[in-house]
Structure 1
């Protein structure tokens, strides 16, 4: 009977059902990641925390689900309660400065603010997260918020009227890169919300992987699997011979699995295991007691796999072309990344007509992500990768 009602609620009230499920499983990182993945499969948008919309728990907002403030690391219930209470008492917050001035200083400290900015809770301001984060000390000084979570700051008692009314301008710096934003979301929430580091490798993952962490339960013992993921945690151990090996907790967009890297593979791939880069892991599945782990045979960076699949890079340019200065910069840039990938230019002619011009082999490149980003920044257009 319970199973029937559960299925009924999920079918007829999917957004409400998933919001309740996310709240129920809030304390489990693994379950939350699986629930978020299921929401995306159901076309239910998951919105990041917002200090003006979020409640304590996950909440329904139209046809979407808004993250609860209680899900943010280092933001305790008392801080959430203080934020919601002030919002209900005097209306929405209009800026970071307004927030710092109004909230209960005994319950909201610098660590709370850092987590809220990193996860996107102040995105409604339209100010880059990087600028809000860099300006946090100034906002704290204005609002009198303590940097010490165990100590009150009485600075606000001594503000002059001029200081109180002075405008607060965030520090003018570039926004964090997409990877930085995602990494900081993960730091503050324990998982990714606005995107995932694996998203940009979707085509490569589709072509080269054989499973996800969710589908591992169906694989047979000792079968060869290929999984794309990121290292969540890693423990280095030594064998009886003193050789290093690793036991890793690897995550993808569906969940987690354990990957064991024995000394021979560890020695070969150790440089790939020390940063946040997305990986393609090949290994054999070990099934026991309803759990599955992978014994790694090979580990490569997904970016390397992607580079090998790209045959040519196409740079779109207008009929007027690129000015000489930009062209010289482009030439210097290309020579910094020599490789075997052909470089082409696609020129927009009159109307919808276009022509593609292939360059000489001496201009062939290595299609690394940094190069592509620099080209796009230089020419002001999105580069096309042909496979």
Structure 2
């Protein structure tokens, strides 16, 4: 109303990720990428969208969006822009119709030929605010300013103003040789969509940025994921999701390594080198000191004693050393995590003694002090940590699991029985009853008003984490299962309030018992193009070895569809059976069915 142009400037972390990815590509491939000049018809990029592999891709990361992309199979920026605009409350109801029209499963019909040129790119569905304005302009002869007034009136649902606008619209359409009945029908249609219409320039701009990130991920996967990890390491849930994406895409993320020090996540021969500044109590200065010492030494560190003899322990202090050991940074040299951790005090003392001797020689007036050789102390006699404990300490140092995940052993159970992914709150519905498989990473208890213990605990899976509450009655029955690092399945109702989501645990079962209690049949997915008759014979041999009472259903996939076969063999569910089938058919080919 003041006649002043309003401009919004949005700071996007995504743009930093794009820049960091381009820098890594330059280092790894000696190629300079200009994202404003990349092809907009890249086949690998649209395949990535169509497969729903959009973790890290701007605006297209949520689990529901990934499913919509798999159905849509976008082939243009226009498709992406429309999906971006439709994926919000209200217009989301039209996504299925949009997809069906794109793929010819539903006809694209227009109330008048003039609508075709306006709505063809969105398959006859009004998606954008600009389309409402164009329709009013083309059909009713309204000026663009008048058409925008119509759009705003529809959004406000002002009945008196709507009546005036309808008369004006219909009269204008009649003057344009459009029958009154058709004009009224068009008005009803645009009234239905006007309240949902999204700003097209916004949707297109965001979708272009999304396409750029997807292009980088599709063509320079390791560099893109490394840049994401660098920018997200303060968010453990996001890092967990990115690490799982790396695993699925077969991009190896190395554990931190004192002999490959790097402040940020970088790429070496297609593998991601861990950015050591992400380790708790190990700051940028400490990593730079390790880089300096490693370069000056001209060789790899051989032991924790060799390490402390060559670095400035005022910068890489005891707390930093503890973080480095717990995170696995010394795994590539002798000792093991337990022995190296127990050696930290001795190593710091030894390093100080060696460096004092070096300084004494440098400061000698005549420089005639002989080199003094110090024998490294023996490692303390301690047992190596069990994997469960080592992983817990690793998560303590990093904020997430890296070298392995306690849930990995139960991945088939997780994929089969979990009804939610803890890192995808977009899929959560308030009061929904769910099953969640995960590992307990923290717990605290207190007395309720009745004097009974209740528990508050955090559950982690491959996608993120969720806070859980267990009241006294349930805790008295199954509370012994809620201990740190235990792998469990929690059943209960979600409580969603804004950004806060909690799971009210009504029952808990150890994951080691879930398959035996819940499995009614074993599902096996076979792809005709991948598996031969020889594969079938091997499967039969496995079934005979592990015969039992559980039915087996085989789904044979061919040409995008699958057929279901219930076979004669019945099997006994156990780890050896599942591992044998996964080794033969792949990890994702096996599912427990309830």
- The TM-score normalised by the length of structure 1 is 0.71
2:311 corresponds in structure 1 to: 103
User: Deviation digits for residues 182-241 of structure 1, max 9, x if unmatched?
Assistant: 112112111111100111122333443322213453244333211111223334354444
2:526 corresponds in structure 1 to: none
Distance 1:288 1:114, change over 3 A: closer
1:94 to 292, 296, 302: 302
Distance 1:171 1:240, change over 3 A: closer
User: Deviation digits for residues 233-277 of structure 1, max 9, x if unmatched?
Assistant: 334354444444333322111101122212221222222223321
2:421 to 209, 212, 224: 212
d(CA) in 1 for partners of 2:251, 2:577:
32
Using the TM superposition, name which of 41-50 and 244-253 deviates more: 244-253
1:124 corresponds in structure 2 to: 332
Distance 1:188 1:140, change over 3 A: same
2:375 to 159, 166, 169: 166
2:480 corresponds in structure 1 to: 271
SS state at 1:34 partner: helix
Confirm or deny that 1:178 pairs with 2:396. Answer: no
SS state at 1:10 partner: helix
Are the equivalent residues in 2 in contact too, given 1:246–1:260 (CA < 8 A)? yes
Distance 1:113 1:161, change over 3 A: farther
Are the equivalent residues in 1 in contact too, given 2:458–2:468 (CA < 8 A)? yes
Distance 1:213 1:135, change over 3 A: same
2:256 corresponds in structure 1 to: 49
- Tell me how far 1:291 sits from its aligned partner: 5.0
Are the equivalent residues in 2 in contact too, given 1:22–1:58 (CA < 8 A)? yes
User: Deviation digits for residues 349-386 of structure 1, max 9, x if unmatched?
Assistant: xxxxxx99xxxxxxxxxxxxxxxxxxxxxxxxxx9745
Are the equivalent residues in 2 in contact too, given 1:144–1:156 (CA < 8 A)? no
Confirm or deny that 1:282 pairs with 2:462. Answer: no
- Tell me how far 1:51 sits from its aligned partner: 1.0
1:85 corresponds in structure 2 to: 292
Using the TM superposition, name which of 197-206 and 181-190 deviates more: 197-206
1:236 corresponds in structure 2 to: 445
- Tell me how far 1:83 sits from its aligned partner: 0.9
Distance 1:106 1:167, change over 3 A: closer
2:145 corresponds in structure 1 to: none
2:346 to 134, 138, 154: 138
d(CA) in 1 for partners of 2:404, 2:231:
23
d(CA) in 2 for partners of 1:192, 1:302:
19
1:63 corresponds in structure 2 to: 270
SS state at 2:503 partner: strand
d(CA) in 2 for partners of 1:30, 1:80:
24
Structure 2: runs of 5 or more not aligned: 1-207, 362-368, 520-543, 546-573, 579-594
Distance 1:290 1:168, change over 3 A: closer
Distance 1:161 1:303, change over 3 A: farther
- The TM-score normalised by the length of structure 2 is 0.48
Structure 1: runs of 5 or more not aligned: 146-152, 311-354, 357-382
If you compute each CA radius of gyration, which structure gives the higher value, 1 or 2? 2
2:507 corresponds in structure 1 to: 298
Are the equivalent residues in 2 in contact too, given 1:143–1:156 (CA < 8 A)? no
- Tell me how far 1:280 sits from its aligned partner: 1.0
Distance 1:206 1:28, change over 3 A: closer
Judging by fraction of residues, say which structure has more strand: 1
Are the equivalent residues in 2 in contact too, given 1:217–1:291 (CA < 8 A)? no
User: Deviation digits for residues 263-309 of structure 1, max 9, x if unmatched?
Assistant: 22122222222332111101122344365432211012223446769
- Tell me how far 1:158 sits from its aligned partner: 8.3
Distance 1:89 1:220, change over 3 A: same
1:11 to 218, 222, 229: 218
Are the equivalent residues in 2 in contact too, given 1:258–1:294 (CA < 8 A)? yes
User: Deviation digits for residues 101-141 of structure 1, max 9, x if unmatched?
Assistant: 00012212222222212211112214322222233333222
Matched residues, number: 313
1:23 to 222, 225, 230: 230
Judging by fraction of residues, say which structure has more helix: 2
2:113 corresponds in structure 1 to: none
RMSD: 3.3
Distance 1:209 1:56, change over 3 A: same
2:194 corresponds in structure 1 to: none
Distance 1:162 1:169, change over 3 A: farther
Distance 1:114 1:288, change over 3 A: closer
Distance 1:205 1:166, change over 3 A: same
d(CA) in 2 for partners of 1:213, 1:303:
20
